Structure formats: structure tokens, C-alpha cells
């Protein structure tokens, strides 16, 4: 009984002492230790000393004991704090006070959840309280560079500056390489050589660049791995599609150092298909086009004429449809045994009535389907028909999208266009000089990672081209391809002027690898572009062949107007599909083996590493001095 009374007495006395020396704070939802500490003019460390459980997180309505100012100063006069300034990093603060990240976060738990905040008051543990071993090196943190990563994104991920990242890894100052193993924290261990324990060497991580390779007939996983210089397991890891088997036409990644036989690495020849099926073997083609007739009929405000003036999407659809009708008529006139059905897909970007059309018309019986237009809808159509392997042809979408084994993207990707122009310049043995402004870092990285032989012209402090640097990179006796990546009008004009100033001595040509609207403005002299033979990749050409002139004449006769780009594409996609269906093979088999060319478009399909097909039928065009656009041969 006496012991119990003594215990109660001690508790009461302790509570009275606490009441005299400490305040109480009821935690509100969303509050942090840092905010509460600032409110009472104490440090987070003071609060954690009295409330150890708070280090595990704050719970709303819980009560914290807060030391009064006088008591805080008296008991914690030796506690050191640091106010976070703009641009400071954890790495910099740790170095400044000679502490580890673990120690800093232990006394400032908010860092784990909120990260470093400007104006934040950090408690700096004394050197005596840190557990950093004197003789043991700090644990090394590595990061392997992934595709599309930049120095900025990596530095931001780890809460350090680009300067700190480069200080740890001076090898990346010129450029960042995919696959490089960066040191983020700590120091890489020194490796003793066999000849001397005193000599040390830094491990060299080889730079690996990858190229695309088209699998040829009769090639196997074994032969591919030998060619690539990788084990079969490494090759499959790099190209997961190989796990299900090797097929001719697949596009796979292999190291740039791979031993590719030159006679095998040849692009397909473009062929003209002949009809190889009979009337008794009729094929079925379906077109899913977004006329959206229900919307037009339900529009009580605009007449059809007014709607046609305003609705660009409807105009595009009707142009494509008019071209498709020309293709159907042409196919019938030469006896192609293909029956065609056309349905209104009633689509928007995220909706369509494809499921209803499928249910009512059994799309699984079709041999090929053209459409819908939007990527989201064409993918849903491919997903519905994957089991029956019905070829679904995307006519206009530029999106890479998700892969389905029966989906055929007819628009080449932006990356394929870039690679095509580089392949052309390299095939001509050209000297390639890149002029890349500071706002085009992604273009610089693409070139450095894929084409290390390209030279970069230096820029002046104001961001413009250094004429002296540019001229020093020119080579006589070769075509000097000047690849320009800039939409700055001043830089474009200065680069062109610099090129024209050396034309008497050097063979120079201007090149772009993606659309550049600046070149189409009135400020850029078109005649100068023709003198520099501006060259660029394109998905379509300007065809003046006899076949193209006949198509244009017939189209004008039927529609009283010249065919638009969409009308010509409607003809090309539809006629090409019907010709492929007229073979004694499936659409997939023709895609695996035959490249074709119609009025203005090429169709050279390759199987992607993640499934489905992509089109690599690309033209390299240039401005000729007779003010016309021609195909570079």
C-alpha cells in the first residue's frame, strides 16, 4: 500500500514539474514537426527529445510536450541548427558539417517525407553523436544511366546539383552515355593491379551504343547472339520479343559493335504486287471511318455547308474517304477479288462504336481492317480481333501506342524519321556537323548517344554559332552535311549565312531531322534554302511520275478539285491493303516479306521488339535549285 502511494506521489510531482516547464500542443491534420517547432520558437530536436514516438510520424489530435523557450535554451544550448538556403542540397550540407545523410535524417525525420525545403531549420548533430566510422569509407551509391535521362533529371532525383554530379564523375562532363554507372555518393574503391599493390586503377565502364537490326530468314537465336557478341540470355533480356521465338522481319537491338554481315544488312527492295488469288478466293476488307453522321444529323445550329467550313476533322475524313473510293474503283477495274464494307466508327479521341459494329457485323470474318483514325480506338479494335489475327491497319495515327501483334502502324515514328536521315548521310560518306542550340538538349543527346562520329560546332556565350569553330570542322572533298537543330530565327539565319560564305571552297548542305516551322517563315529566304539544298526526312513525296499524274487527273475528274494529302493517303493505304490481300499469302506474311510504294507513300513494315508492326518507308527529300522538291537518291 505504501509503495503504491509513493508511485502516485511521484507521478503527480512529475506531472506538476512538466506542467511548469513545458507547453502542450494538440496536433492538427497536416502539421509537421518543423511547423510546430517554428511556432514555439524551438528546434525539432527539442520536440523529439520529449516525444520520441513523434519520430515515427504525427497523428492528428495527439498531444506533444513542447519545452518552454527558457528551458529549451538552458537544456539545449549546444544544439546546432542550419537554415536551408535556395539551391542548397543535402549533399552540400552533409559536406559542410562533416556528417552523414543517415545522421542528418535521424534528427530531422521530416526529411524522409518532405525532402529539403527552403527556409527549413535543420538540427545538425554534433560530431560526437554521429556514428560515422573514421576508418570505414562511406557507402558508395551508384546509378546506371537509362535512355532519355539527363544530368539534370539524375541530379534532381538524388537531391544534388549537376556540378556535384560532374565532380564525382568527370567523365560525363562532355556527354552522358546510356549504361554508364555513375557514382552518386561515396568514393569508388580503388583496385590494386597485379604488378603492384601500390598502383591503383579506376574501373573503366565501356560505352555501349545500340543499333536496330532486321532479322533475316533462317536466322536463329543462337546465330543472332553470336553476331551480337552477347549470350542468348542477354540478347533476350535486351529484346523480350525473342522469348517467343525468332521470326524474319523482327527489328531487334544489338550493340553497335555487332558483327553484321554487310550483304545481310540490306533494306528491302520495293516491289510491285501482282494479283495471285482467284475470284473464288475473295477476301474481305473493312473500312472504319469517323463520319460521325449522328452528330451531323443532330446539329440544329449548323448546316452541312457551315459544318464543312468549320470541322477540320470531318474534312480530313471525307478527303481520306474520297481517296479510298478511288482505290476501290481502281482495284475493281483490274479485277482484284476483294469485297469492301465501310462503316461509320462514330469516334472521338476516347470513344467509338466499334464494339457495336463488331457485334452486328462479325468483324472477325474480315481479312483486314483500315481504321479507326484515333490511336486509342485502333488499339481497342486490334485487341478485339487479336485472337483471330485480323490485320488492323492504323492509317493516320502518329502515336507509337501500345503493341498488339495484329496492329500495323502506317505512319513512321519520329525516331525512325531521324534515323533515316542519318543513315542516308552516313551511306554517302558525308562529314556530319551538328549545330544545336541550347534549347535543343534532347536533340544533342539523341545524336551523341546514337551517332558518336558527328562533330558539334561550338556556340558563343550568347548562344549563337561560332563561325570559327564551324569552319574548322569542314572537310574538303566530302559533302559537309550541316545538321541544324534550332528554331531561333537569328541562329538559323546566321548558320545559313556562315554556310553560304564557305560554298566557294567547301561542298555544304543544310539538313534537318524533324519539322522546323522557322524555315517556312517569310524571314528565311527560300532561294537560299535551295542553294543549300535543304534536306529532310518525310513520310510522303511529291510524285510527278506518269502513274501519279493519272491519279491526279482521275481524282480531279471525279471530285472537281486536286487531291489533298489526306485524299492521296486514303488511296495509297486502301489500294496497298487490297493488293496485299490479293496475294496467295496472309496480310501478315506480305508485311514480313514485301515492301511496296504507291502514289506518295511507302509501306515497309517491320515487327517491333514489343509486338506489332511499324512502317519504315521514309523518303529523304531536298530543295533543288530549280525551286522544286526532289527525292535524294
pLDDT at 619 over 80: yes
Shared-domain flag, residues 287 and 324: yes
**Cα–Cα distances in Å, from 600 out to 42, 320, 498, 580?**
74, 14, 35, 17
Q: What is the pLDDT of residue 113?
A: 61
Residue 140: per-residue pLDDT = 78
Number of Cβ within a 10 Å radius of residue 87 = 8
User: Tens digits of per-residue pLDDT, 227-276?
Assistant: 888 888 888 888 888 887 888 778 888 887 777 664 434 456 787 888 88
Instruction: Give the residue-averaged pLDDT of 359-377.
Output: 95
Listed residue (56, 57, 68, 71) closest to 25, CA to CA: 68
Domain-located, residue 9 = no
* Dihedral of alpha carbons 7, 10, 12, 14, sign: negative
Q: What CATH number should be reported for the domain holding residue 115? A: 3.10.350.10
Q: Are residues 386 and 284 in the same domain?
A: yes
What are the backbone dihedrals phi and psi of residue 249, each rounded to the nearest 5 degrees, phi first? 100, -15
pLDDT at position 78 is: 53
6: pLDDT strictly greater than 50: no
Chain-centroid distance of CA 85 in Å reads: 34
Compute the distance between CA of residue 395 and CA of residue 50 in angstroms, rounded to an integer: 69
Query: 374 and 513: one domain?
Result: no
Same domain, 520 and 584: no
Give me the CATH number covering residue 556: 3.40.50.2300
Peptide bond into 372 cis (omega under 30): yes
In a domain, 424, yes or no: yes
Least confident of 65-79, 494-508, 535-549, 556-570: 65-79
pLDDT tens-place string over residues 176-190: 777 778 888 777 665
Residues 399 and 430 in one domain: no
Other C-beta atoms within 10 Å of 376: how many? 17
Residue 396 lies in a domain: yes
Q: Would you give the distance in Å from CA 73 to the centre of its chain?
A: 55
Which of 523, 538, 553 is the endpoint of a domain? 538
Residue 160 has a pLDDT of: 82
Supply the DSSP symbol for 195.
S
Distance, CA of 151 to CA of 106 (rounded, Å): 29
- Note every long-range contact of 161-170, with CB atoms under 8 Å and residues 24 or more positions apart, other chains counting: 161/87, 161/89, 161/91, 161/92, 164/89, 164/91, 164/92
Look at the chain and report how many structural domains it folds into.
5
Task: Evaluate whether residue 458 is within a structural domain.
Answer: yes
In a domain, 274, yes or no: no
List alpha helices for 137-231, DSSP H.
151-157, 162-168, 221-228
Instruction: Please tell me which residue, 390 or 162, carries the higher pLDDT value.
Output: 390
Q: Residue 224: what pLDDT? A: 86
Sorting pLDDT into bands at 50, 70 and 90, what band is 310?
confident
Please identify which residue in the block is written with the cell numbers 517547432. Answer: 37
Quick check: is 194 in a domain? yes
Q: What is the DSSP letter of 595?
A: B
pLDDT in tens, 458-475: 988 888 899 999 999 999
Beta-bridge partners for 255: 210
| Partners of residue 201 on adjacent β-strands | 191
143 in Cβ contact with 154 (< 8 Å): yes
Cell numbers at residue 510, please? 543544310
Answer whether residue 46 is part of any domain: yes
| Domain identity same for 579 and 519 | no
**Are 161 and 232 within one domain?**
no
Shared domain check, 408 and 283? yes
**Range with the poorest average pLDDT among 64-73, 393-402, 531-540, 546-555:** 64-73
Residue span of the structural domain in which 146 resides = 141-201
Cβ atoms of 146 and 181 closer than 8 Å: no
Whether residue 386 sits in one domain with residue 283:
yes
Does residue 408 sit in the same domain as residue 557? yes
Q: Across the chain, what does the average pLDDT equal?
A: 82
DSSP E strand stretches across 515-616: 535-538, 596-597, 602-603, 605-607, 613-615
In this structure, are 434 and 521 located in the same domain? Answer: yes
The reply to whether 148 and 84 lie within a common domain is no
Residue 192 is predicted with a pLDDT of: 43
Confidence of residue 11 (pLDDT cuts 50, 70, 90): very low
Cβ–Cβ < 8 Å for 283, 277? yes
With 70 as the cut, is the pLDDT of residue 594 above it?
A: yes
Task: Name which residue leads in pLDDT, 13 or 432.
Answer: 432
Of 201, 227, 246, which residue is a domain's last? 201
Instruction: Please determine, for residue 119, whether its predicted confidence score (pLDDT) is greater than 80.
Output: no
For residue range 544-584, what is the model confidence (pLDDT) as tens digits?
888 899 999 999 999 999 999 999 999 999 999 999 999 98
- Considering the domain boundaries, does residue 487 fall inside one? yes
> Which residue, 479, 503, 538, sits at the end of a domain?
538
Q: pTM of the full predicted structure?
A: 0.60
Average pLDDT over residues 316-326: 96
Phi, psi of 177 (to 5 degrees): -110, 135
Amino acid at each position: 500500500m505504501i509503495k503504491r502511494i509513493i508511485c502516485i506521489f511521484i507521478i503527480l510531482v512529475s506531472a506538476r514539474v512538466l506542467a511548469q516547464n513545458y507547453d502542450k500542443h494538440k496536433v492538427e491534420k497536416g502539421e509537421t514537426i518543423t511547423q510546430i517547432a517554428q511556432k514555439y520558437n524551438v528546434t525539432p530536436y527539442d520536440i523529439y527529445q520529449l516525444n520520441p514516438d513523434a519520430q515515427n510520424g504525427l497523428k492528428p489530435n495527439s498531444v506533444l510536450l513542447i519545452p518552454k523557450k527558457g528551458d529549451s535554451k538552458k537544456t539545449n544550448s549546444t544544439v546546432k541548427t542550419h537554415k536551408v538556403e535556395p539551391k542548397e542540397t543535402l549533399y552540400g550540407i552533409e559536406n559542410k558539417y562533416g556528417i552523414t545523410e543517415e545522421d542528418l535524417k535521424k534528427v530531422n525525420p521530416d526529411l524522409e517525407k518532405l525532402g529539403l525545403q527552403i527556409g527549413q531549420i535543420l538540427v545538425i548533430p554534433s560530431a560526437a553523436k554521429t556514428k560515422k566510422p573514421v576508418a570505414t569509407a562511406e557507402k558508395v551509391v551508384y546509378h546506371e544511366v537509362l535512355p532519355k535521362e539527363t544530368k539534370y533529371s539524375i541530379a534532381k532525383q538524388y537531391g544534388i546539383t549537376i556540378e556535384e554530379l560532374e565532380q564525382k564523375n568527370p567523365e560525363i562532363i562532355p556527354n552522358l552515355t546510356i549504361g554508364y554507372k555513375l557514382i552518386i555518393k561515396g568514393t569508388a574503391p580503388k583496385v590494386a593491379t597485379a604488378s603492384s599493390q601500390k598502383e591503383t586503377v579506376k574501373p573503366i565502364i565501356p560505352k555501349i551504343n545500340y543499333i536496330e537490326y532486321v532479322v533475316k530468314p533462317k536466322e536463329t537465336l543462337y546465330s543472332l547472339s553470336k553476331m551480337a557478341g552477347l549470350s542468348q540470355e542477354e540478347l533476350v533480356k535486351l529484346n523480350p520479343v525473342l522469348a517467343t521465338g525468332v521470326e524474319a522481319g523482327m527489328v531487334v537491338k544489338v550493340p553497335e559493335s555487332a558483327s553484321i554481315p554487310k550483304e545481310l544488312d540490306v533494306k528491302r527492295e520495293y516491289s510491285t504486287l501482282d494479283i495471285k488469288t482467284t475470284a473464288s478466293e475473295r477476301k474481305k476488307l473493312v473500312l472504319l471511318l469517323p463520319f460521325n453522321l449522328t452528330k451531323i444529323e443532330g446539329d440544329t445550329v449548323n448546316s452541312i455547308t457551315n459544318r464543312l467550313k468549320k470541322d477540320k476533322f470531318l474534312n480530313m475524313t471525307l478527303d481520306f474517304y474520297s481517296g479510298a473510293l478511288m482505290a476501290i474503283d481502281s482495284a475493281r477495274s483490274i479485277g482484284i477479288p476483294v469485297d469492301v464494307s465501310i462503316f461509320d466508327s462514330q469516334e472521338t479521341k476516347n470513344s467509338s462504336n466499334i464494339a457495336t459494329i463488331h457485334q452486328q457485323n462479325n468483324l472477325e470474318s474480315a481479312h483486314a481492317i483500315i481504321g479507326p483514325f484515333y490511336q486509342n480506338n485502333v488499339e481497342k479494335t486490334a485487341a478485339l480481333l487479336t485472337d483471330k489475327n485480323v490485320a488492323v491497319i492504323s492509317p493516320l495515327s502518329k502515336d507509337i501506342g501500345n503493341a498488339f501483334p495484329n496492329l500495323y502502324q502506317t505512319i513512321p515514328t519520329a525516331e525512325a524519321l531521324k534515323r533515316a536521315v542519318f543513315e542516308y548521310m552516313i551511306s554517302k560518306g558525308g562529314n556530319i556537323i551538328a549545330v544545336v542550340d541550347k534549347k535543343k538538349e534532347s536533340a544533342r543527346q539523341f545524336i551523341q548517344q546514337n551517332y558518336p562520329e558527328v562533330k558539334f560546332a561550338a556556340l558563343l556565350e550568347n548562344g549563337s554559332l561560332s563561325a570559327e569553330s564551324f569552319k574548322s570542322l569542314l572537310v574538303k572533298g566530302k559533302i559537309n552535311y550541316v545538321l541544324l537543330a534550332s528554331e531561333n530565327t537569328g541562329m538559323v539565319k546566321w548558320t545559313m549565312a556562315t554556310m553560304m560564305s564557305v560554298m566557294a571552297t567547301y561542298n555544304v548542305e543544310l539538313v534537318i531531322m524533324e519539322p522546323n516551322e522557322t524555315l517556312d517563315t517569310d524571314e528565311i529566304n527560300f532561294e537560299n534554302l535551295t542553294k543549300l539544298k535543304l534536306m529532310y526526312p518525310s513520310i510522303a513525296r511529291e510524285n510527278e511520275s506518269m502513274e501519279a499524274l493519272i491519279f491526279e487527273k482521275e481524282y480531279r475528274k471525279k471530285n472537281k478539285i486536286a487531291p489533298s494529302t489526306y485524299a492521296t493517303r486514303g488511296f495509297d493505304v486502301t489500294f496497298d491493303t487490297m493488293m496485299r490481300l490479293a496475294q496467295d499469302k496472309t496480310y501478315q506474311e506480305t508485311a514480313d516479306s514485301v515492301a511496296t510504294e504507291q502514289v506518295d507513300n511507302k509501306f515497309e513494315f517491320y515487327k517491333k521488339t514489343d509486338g506489332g508492326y511499324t512502317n519504315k518507308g521514309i523518303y529523304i527529300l531536298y530543295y533543288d535549285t530549280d525551286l522544286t522538291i526532289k527525292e535524294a537518291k
